Amino acid sequence: MEQTISVSVNGRPYERSVEPRLLLSDFLRHDIGLSGTHVGCEHGVCGACTVLVDSAAVRSCLMFAVQANGREVTTVEGLDGGQEDLHPIQHGFWEKHGLQCGFCTPGILMTLVPFLEENPDPSEAEIREILSGNICRCTGYQKIVEAVQLSAILLQEKPG
């Protein structure tokens, strides 16, 4: 009953045979070893599993791997050029202490990529609105909001 899918993840092609019920989050984490995408609820609420599919932020726990067939997926591992060469949004989070345990962080970063592309100069209310789909249990969000504000500035200086 397995199906063969080909997916591009972070620009690299993968061809794998998978069960139709395999979640995209499990495919990314376990089948191809990109464990930077986290799973906090598996029911679409926490946003930790957010990745980009064809440039749109989606919850990879609400999608089957087979649905990603023929599409382009970007995960947190595809955001930077290595630990030495962080994406501007990653810089924003580092500077402003926008993470504590860091478990929610990959999903938040991936949520922000398309958001900041479309809203290069967001208001605090807009930032809080977009963040409301991602739960962070550690930070109380204040420093995440500050991190997003700084990220927006950094992105304008040096687009990711």
Instruction: Give the interface with ligand FES as residue ranges (CB under 6 A).
Output: 39-42, 44-49, 59, 61, 99-104, 136-139
Q: How far apart are CA 36 and CA 62, in angstroms?
A: 17
Q: Do 47 and 133 form a contact (C-beta atoms < 8 A)?
A: yes
Q: How far is the CB of 71 from ligand FES (least distance, A)?
A: 18
Query: Of these partners, another protein, ligand FES, none, which one is at the site of residue 127 (CB under 5 to 8 Å by kind)?
Result: another protein
- DSSP 3-state assignment of 72? strand
Q: How far is the CB of 31 from ligand FES (least distance, A)?
A: 17
Alpha helices in 2-141 (DSSP H): 24-26, 88-95, 105-118, 124-131
Q: Do 70 and 8 form a contact (C-beta atoms < 8 A)?
A: no
- Indicate which single residue of 9, 24, 40, 115 sits in contact with another protein (rule: CB under 8 A): 40
Residues in contact with another protein, shown as a per-residue x/- string from 92 to 131 under the rule CB under 8 A: -xxx-x-xxxxxxxx--x-----------------xxx-x
Q: Which is nearer to ligand FES, 49 or 147 (CB)?
A: 49
Q: How far apart are CA 3 and CA 83, in angstroms?
A: 35
